[in-house]
């Protein structure tokens, strides 16, 4: 896909601008300022200007001091114009002389607060854009923005409902989720333009459009019919809980009858029996009330069912939740069972279902994903003669690390030979490293006998006393 990097950065800039606007809107609403002091469009322009400045000056050649001064001047102009476009009070105006109005008494306390918050936010936004462009891990940044932005947007919506007036969040919901999903997908597309990758932009577009359409339709239905659907779901769930309680009623009532019968038997067996004096001419005694136990059991059953309603509902929700988690883990483990091809991008020859599961699973918290624990080392398990060499080299590293060697993943195996020789002085580290390079970079297998001999030598060297350094 052409221009995938530019598309990823553009999506990142738009998503960041919406997140910052939502955060400023929450702060402004809490402080009684009526929302964000900087309109979203102005924030987007500021983000774009900062990104363009970082892109241009980051690759410029020349005197570093001169470049820094010019870039600082551009930042000053951008922040100044942003402050001139802030919303002071209830209306938006462009005031080029805003410092004079700020210190000259033209604004009240709320207007001054708007300008101060806007100035701090504009400076922070410019600094943020420099970090975004300097970042090389755009997919991870987009995932973080999606998670953080979802939380911030939810807080902003709750704030909007609490203050009772609009703060400009609702119109930005669909753009935020749209650009975030498109950016996360585009950032994982391969740089090549082969025929196998030509269908992925269409798949991404249809998928994002479907998700946004379903969300928009749900929002329209909720706005049109209110909480009718939610009340229907609550009524359906309540009916299910009532049916389950009706099934549980009979064993509970039987248990209550047995318990009350045991209590009565204990009273008759160990209680003191009082015989009332007989009265002459008294009326005949009434027959005993045989349904006393039944009434008590029914009363106790009703009390138990009422006490069980909410705990049972919570327990059922947890059961359904963990069933969904278990099903997701099973499905994701089947989709990503091939550990030899760790998908870090969407490729034309890859399994689309597995790639989409990889993208979706990255948005899910880690404790939901599960999966088996992975070793620190990875090796091609299916290649005979190559896997054994990998394991030999990794065992050599493990012995050296246990003896005090600091593992540096940024150096090559050849650069690590000297350190291995220090901590395993009698081990054939040169031969082990040579065989590892041949297996790792050339795919050359080694006979089992040629692997066993250096392994025994490494094990023997690991048993010797540690060298004094």
Domain ranges of the chain: 4-226, 229-270+290-335, 387-463
* Whole-angstrom distance, CA of residue 203 vs CA of residue 208: 9
Please tell me the predicted confidence (pLDDT) of residue 344: 43
Q: List, as one string, the DSSP characters of 141-177.
A: HHHHHHHHHHHHHHHHHHHHHHHTS--S-GGGHHHHH
* Distance set, CA 360 to CA 11, 106, 146 (Å): 18, 52, 12
Main-chain dihedrals φ then ψ at residue 91, nearest 5 degrees: -125, 155
Query: Are 180 and 146 contacting, i.e. CB atoms less than 8 angstroms apart?
Result: yes
Please tell me the predicted confidence (pLDDT) of residue 230: 56
Rg for the chain, CA atoms, rounded: 35
Which of 242, 257, 240 minimizes the C-alpha distance to 301? Answer: 257
Query: Which two tokens mark 423?
Result: 């901590």
| pTM exceeding the 0.75 threshold for the entire prediction | no
Q: What is the DSSP letter of 345?
A: S
Which of 89, 69, 88 minimizes the C-alpha distance to 77? Answer: 69
* Whole-angstrom distance, CA of residue 167 vs CA of residue 25: 6
Please tell me the predicted confidence (pLDDT) of residue 341: 42
Q: What is the DSSP letter of 196?
A: G
Cα dihedral: 278, 280, 284, 287 (round 10): -10
Which of 317, 260, 250 minimizes the C-alpha distance to 293? Answer: 260
3-state secondary structure of 365: coil
Main-chain dihedrals φ then ψ at residue 350, nearest 5 degrees: -95, 170
Q: Which residue has the tokens 């997701």?
A: 328
Please tell me the predicted confidence (pLDDT) of residue 305: 76
Please tell me the predicted confidence (pLDDT) of residue 340: 42
Query: Which two tokens mark 254?
Result: 């039987």
Q: What number of H helices and E strands is found in the chain? A: 16, 2
Query: Which two tokens mark 34?
Result: 């009526």
Q: Is 338 buried (19+), middle (13-18) or exposed (0-12) by CB count in 10 A? A: exposed
Question: Which regions of the chain are under pLDDT 50?
Answer: 1, 194-196, 280, 289-290, 337-350, 373-374
Q: How far apart are the first and last CA of the chain?
A: 54
* Whole-angstrom distance, CA of residue 47 vs CA of residue 128: 9
Q: Which residue has the tokens 């918050």?
A: 117
Total residues found in the chain within this entry: 469
Chain Cα centroid distance, residue 423: 42
Q: In 10 A of CB 43, how many CB atoms? A: 24
């Amino acid at each position: 896909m052409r221009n995938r990097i530019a598309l990823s950065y553009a999506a990142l800039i738009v998503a960041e601008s919406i997140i910052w606007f939502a955060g400023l809107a929450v702060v402004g609403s809490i402080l009684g300022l009526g929302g964000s002091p900087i309109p979203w469009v102005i924030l987007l322009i500021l983000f774009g200007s900062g990104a363009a400045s970082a892109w241009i000056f980051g690759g410029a050649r020349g005197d570093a001091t001169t470049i820094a001064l010019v870039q600082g001047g551009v930042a000053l102009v951008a922040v100044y114009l942003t402050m001139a476009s802030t919303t002071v009070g209830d209306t938006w105006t462009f005031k080029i002389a805003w410092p004079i109005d700020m210190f000259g008494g033209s604004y009240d306390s709320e207007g001054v607060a708007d300008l101060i918050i806007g100035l701090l936010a504009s400076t922070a936004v410019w600094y943020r854009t420099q970090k975004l462009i300097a970042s090389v891990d755009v997919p991870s940044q987009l995932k973080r923005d999606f998670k953080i932005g979802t939380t911030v947007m939810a807080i902003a919506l709750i704030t909007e409902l609490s203050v009772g007036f609009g703060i400009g969040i609702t119109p930005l919901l669909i753009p935020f989720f749209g650009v975030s999903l498109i950016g996360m997908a585009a950032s994982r597309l391969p740089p090549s333009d082969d025929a196998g990758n030509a269908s992925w932009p269409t798949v991404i577009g249809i998928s994002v459009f479907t998700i946004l359409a379903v969300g928009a339709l749900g929002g329209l239905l909720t706005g049109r019919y209110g909480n009718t659907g939610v009340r229907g779901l609550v009524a359906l769930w309540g009916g299910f809980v009532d049916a389950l309680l009706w099934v549980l009623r009979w064993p509970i009532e039987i248990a209550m009858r047995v318990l009350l019968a045991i209590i009565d038997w204990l009273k008759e067996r160990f209680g003191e029996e009082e015989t009332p004096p007989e009265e002459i001419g008294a009326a005949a005694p009434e027959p005993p009330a045989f349904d006393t136990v039944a009434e008590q059991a029914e009363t106790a059953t009703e009390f138990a069912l009422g006490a069980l309603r909410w705990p049972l509902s919570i327990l059922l929700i947890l059961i359904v939740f963990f069933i969904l988690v278990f099903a997701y883990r099973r499905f994701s483990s089947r989709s990503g069972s091939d550990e030899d091809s760790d998908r870090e991008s969407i490729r034309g020859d890859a399994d689309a279902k597995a790639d989409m599961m990889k993208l979706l699973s990255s948005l899910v918290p880690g404790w939901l994903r599960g999966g088996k624990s992975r070793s620190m080392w990875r090796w091609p398990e299916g290649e005979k003669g190559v896997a054994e060499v990998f394991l030999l080299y990794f065992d050599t590293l493990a012995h050296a690390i246990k003896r005090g060697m600091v593992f540096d993943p940024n150096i090559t195996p050849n650069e690590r030979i000297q350190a291995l020789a220090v901590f395993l002085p009698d081990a054939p580290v040169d031969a082990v490293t040579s065989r590892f390079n041949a297996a790792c970079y050339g795919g050359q297998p080694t006979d089992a006998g040629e692997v066993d001999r250096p392994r025994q030598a490494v094990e023997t060297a690991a048993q010797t006393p540690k060298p004094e350094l």
